[in-house]
């Protein structure tokens, strides 16, 4: 499948330089990092969140970490939970299940970024399938996110 059409169009519209890194099939962001021989801290894992009014947001953390919902609740001042697999499939309809790109704005989603990810000079994230990562420099990643809400809302796996 390769890079999703929505993601590809978004990257092209913003005229940023990016590379697609192919790797053997993997079933998680951390395994994608291993398969591509990339440090797990540099691979952005996206987690779709849902609020009570079914508003979606995307939380992005390094693949070596997990989202702490309690910390997100304090950061946002709202209760959020994890979206179901069916909700994820609906929002990311042009992606394989579980291969969520970490650029929420491409899908019209507010994106929350964990501070630990922003310590990386290069960022990689799922391209929409389980065999490709998109590689961006940190400046381009932040540029594409716009003004993301930032904070500390993750813990080591």
Q: What confidence tens digit (pLDDT) does each residue in 81-131 have?
A: 999 999 999 999 999 999 999 999 999 999 999 999 998 999 999 999 999
| Residue 112 included in any domain | yes
Q: Pick from 83, 36, 79, 90: which is nearest to 56 by CA?
A: 83
| Residue 23 included in any domain | yes
The pTM (predicted TM-score) of the whole model is: 0.95
Residue with tokens 């939970």: 81
| Residue 156 included in any domain | no
pLDDT, position 137: 87
Number of structural domains (the chain) is 1
| Residue 100 included in any domain | yes
The CATH number that applies at residue 51 is: 3.90.960.10
Write the CA distances from 58 to 1, 37, 38, 67, integer angstroms: 23, 25, 23, 11
Q: Which residue range forms the structural domain that includes residue 137?
A: 5-150
- 78 within 8 A of 43, measured Cβ to Cβ: no
Average pLDDT over residues 30-54: 93
| Residue 97 included in any domain | yes
pLDDT, position 1: 67
| Residue 155 included in any domain | no
| Residue 12 included in any domain | yes
Average pLDDT over residues 41-68: 94
| Residue 157 included in any domain | no
pLDDT, position 157: 83
- d(CA 38, CA 72) in angstroms, rounded, equals 27
């Amino acid at each position: 499948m390769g890079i999703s059409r929505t993601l590809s169009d978004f990257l092209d519209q913003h005229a940023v330089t990016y590379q697609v890194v192919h790797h053997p099939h993997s079933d998680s962001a951390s395994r994608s990092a291993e398969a591509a021989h990339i440090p797990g801290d540099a691979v952005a894992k996206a987690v779709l969140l849902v609020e009570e009014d079914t508003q979606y947001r995307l939380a992005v953390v390094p693949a070596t970490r997990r989202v702490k919902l309690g910390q997100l609740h304090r950061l946002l001042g709202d209760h959020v939970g994890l979206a179901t697999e069916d909700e994820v499939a609906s929002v990311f309809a042009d992606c394989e299940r579980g291969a969520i790109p970490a650029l929420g704005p491409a899908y019209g989603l507010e994106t929350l970024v964990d501070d630990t990810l922003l310590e990386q000079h290069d960022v990689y994230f799922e391209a929409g399938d389980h065999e490709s990562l998109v590689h961006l420099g940190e400046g381009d990643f932040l540029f594409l996110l716009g003004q993301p809400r930032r904070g500390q809302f993750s813990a080591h796996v």
